[in-house]
Amino acid sequence: MNTVLITGASRGIGAAIAEVFARHGYQLILNCCHSETALKALSDELSDKYHVTVLPVIGDVSDPDFIANMFAMIHQQSLSVDVLINNAGISHIGLLQDMTYEQWQHVINTNLSSVFSCCKYALPDMLHKKSGRILNISSVWGNVGASCEVAYSASKGAVNSFTKALAKEVAPSGISVNAIACGTIDTSMNACFSAEERADLESEIPCGRYGTPVETAELAYAIVSQSPYLTGQIITLDGGWC
């Protein structure tokens, strides 16, 4: 039975991805940082509904020591990661000149350094088996940039470059590395918008609405299910917006 590790899995896109993979019979390792109650509730729900093994792991993926310990625990459970989905992420909205170094570093560590650390520890088993799938959840702002979201845009642009470079490095071992560049997905990350701002944004999207976590999750599973010949791709899911 294949095992998938999903970071940032307690809600939104991560929780939707967890359900899709559980429905297809994957063992789940689900991580989140702050929402322990929600993660455990989701784990129990998916285990009961789909009769799969679910291992919830609470911790901050911006901390490389936590990630090292998480993979040590995974190995202690006699598990290895067949599919890694780097979904954990945070945003910061505001003028660059008002941003502190600590705020900048928190965004970079959570959105980018966590991807490095999780890949670093997941790859040895994948290389040994000569198979594996890595999928990074990115953003259209990594492609085009967003005013007042410089740190977030920079982190996601780096994730996109990381994806392309690592894909070339591990393709000879049968491992694929891809990313989804999400447009505006209807999650709590966008709760900061007023009803008027939301309506204005929706009017700019050719499909006329936000995307849903389920749509993102279904695309994630479809990408992971493809031949490893599909690799190094940044696949945009934005309703024709960017």
- Active-site residue list: 152
Contacts of 26 (CB under 8 A, 6+ apart): 1, 2, 3, 4, 52, 83
- Answer for the pair 212, 157: CB distance below 8 angstroms, yes or no: no
How many separate helices (H) and strands (E) can be counted in the chain? Answer: 9, 7
- Answer for the pair 178, 136: CB distance below 8 angstroms, yes or no: yes
CA distance 158 to 194: 29
Task: Find the distance separating the first CA and the last CA of the chain, reported in whole Å.
Answer: 38
- SS3 sequence, 62-100? CCHHHHHHHHHHHHHCCCCCCEEEECCCCCCCCCHHHCC
